Amino acid sequence: MPDLRTVFRWIALLAASAFLAAALNLARFPAALLLGPMLVAIVFGIRGAGLALPRPLFLAAQAVIGCLVAHSITPEITRTIVDDAALICAAVCVTVLAGAILGIILTRLQILPGSTAAWGSAPGGAAAMVAMSEAYGSDPRLVAFMQYVRVAAVVLTASVVARFFVDGSALPAVAAAEPAPALSVLATLGIAALGAGLAMLLHIPAAALVGPMLLGAVLHTTGIASVSVPGALLDAAYAGIGWYVGLRFNRETLRAVWHALPGILVATVAIIVLCGSWAWGLTFLLPIDFLTAFLATSPGGLDSVAIIAVGSKADVSFVLGVQTLRLFTVLLTGPILARWIARAAPGPGA
């Protein structure tokens, strides 16, 4: 059983998260229920609270978000990918290339080892990148820190950008306030469990999110089942993902990466600016708004970007089409890029 101090810390985390989320919601920030808990958890983690969200709860939160996304997906997502395939592939390639270039720079400057810099700079799902980096011999602590620093920065930046493109009626908390039929909720929970389970058995990347998203989208758009996520469950999923990301920041990790921290921060800002510039360029090539382009090219986690996209005026189909394609591209090309970037390391006499 957890000791009393741990219980009190969780209560304090919950209370502070609820307060900040409410304040951000009043300020009309999209994804306030993700952003508030994440920022509070970062403070708790760095101050040595010693808390960590169990991974099964994080996977459950991802499955709920997958069902939320499935509810928003229409057949247009397929048509969008087919109709704009060339530009979508270009958007994916630009982001992946930007991550590779930053990895090479970090390696050449000897800020990080080559393979660690490659996986840490890769703009894919943070959890998937950490898992694959460990399998390929990289330092998972450094990769996790780089990935979650970028996720936190992307969520914060995207929320600020979305704040100026969204009205108060589009916030997630408002959208989730409608009562959901009990049968529909049970069907949704079944889709979440079955989709995540099948995706894990098939070793699909980001299985807990992608499985329910794909299965739910098929069943929902064909009318076989109705996907409906109750507000309380959605709020808990938002907070769970925010806590999981935020609590990954702790004193031990900071000490381990202290020498690399300035380079990591500069690299994080650089890739966000590069992707933001490409997003601005896409608005001249496609009939999409800047928010949609920014979220589609954002080098953050698929789950967090999906939350912001669903809770704002963005074109969810386009955003998820680009993000999903990029995730699979990074997973397929990651080992090759890691070896390529590792070769960029200067020799002993350099």
pLDDT for 334 beyond 90: no
How many domains is the chain partitioned into structurally?
A: 1
Provide mean pLDDT across the span 137-142. 72
Residue 223: CATH number of its domain: 1.20.1530
Closest CA to 236 of 69, 62, 66, 71: 62
Instruction: Look at the block and give the residue holding tokens 């704002």.
Output: 312
Cα torsion angle, 40, 46, 49, 55, sign: positive
Q: Is residue 350 part of a domain?
A: no
How do residues 208-217 score in pLDDT, each as one tens digit? Answer: 888 898 898 8
Q: What is the rounded distance in angstroms from the CA atom of residue 278 to the CA atom of residue 291?
A: 12
Helices (H), the chain: 4-26, 32-46, 55-72, 76-83, 85-108, 114-121, 126-135, 140-163, 172-175, 182-201, 207-221, 231-246, 251-257, 261-285, 290-297, 302-310, 316-342
Q: Is residue 116 part of a domain?
A: yes
Contact indicator for 170, 159 with CB cutoff of 8 Å: no
Closest CA to 234 of 307, 170, 183, 300: 307
How do residues 100-118 score in pLDDT, each as one tens digit? Answer: 888 888 888 878 776 778 7
pLDDT at 345 (0 to 100): 63
Q: Is residue 15 part of a domain?
A: yes
Q: Is residue 115 part of a domain?
A: yes
Q: Is residue 349 part of a domain?
A: no
Q: What is the rounded distance in angstroms from the CA atom of residue 129 to the CA atom of residue 141?
A: 12
pLDDT at 168 (0 to 100): 45
Closest CA to 326 of 93, 74, 80: 93
- Phi and psi at 108, nearest 5°, equal -65, -35
Distances (CA, A) of 108 to 3, 103, 117: 47, 9, 10
CA angle 241, 305, 33 (to 5 degrees): 45
Those residues with Cβ within 8 angstroms of residue 280's Cβ, 6 or more apart along the chain or in another chain: 290, 293
Instruction: Look at the block and give the residue holding tokens 């970062």.
Output: 42
How do residues 225-274 score in pLDDT, each as one tens digit? Answer: 878 888 788 889 889 988 988 888 888 778 777 888 888 888 888 888 88
pLDDT at 176 (0 to 100): 41
Instruction: Look at the block and give the residue holding tokens 């950490």.
Output: 130
Closest CA to 56 of 244, 215, 191: 244
Q: What is the rounded distance in angstroms from the CA atom of residue 148 to the CA atom of residue 268?
A: 10
pLDDT for 177 beyond 50: no
- Phi and psi at 191, nearest 5°, equal -65, -40
Q: Is residue 251 part of a domain?
A: yes
Query: What domain range includes position 295?
Result: 4-342
pLDDT at 131 (0 to 100): 61
How many CB atoms sit inside 10 A of residue 156's CB?
17
Q: What is the pTM of this model?
A: 0.71
Q: Burial of 258 by CB count in 10 Å (0-12 exposed, 13-18 middle, 19+ buried)?
A: exposed
Q: Is residue 177 part of a domain?
A: yes
Q: What percent of the chain has pLDDT over 70?
A: 85
For 101-125, letters b (16+ CB in 10 Å) and e give: bbbbbbbeeebbbbbbbbbbbbbbb
Q: If you average pLDDT over every residue of the chain, what do you get? A: 80
pLDDT at 132 (0 to 100): 65
Q: What is the rounded distance in angstroms from the CA atom of residue 76 to the CA atom of residue 80?
A: 6
Structure tokens at 164: 């100026």
pLDDT at 14 (0 to 100): 95
Q: Is residue 200 part of a domain?
A: yes
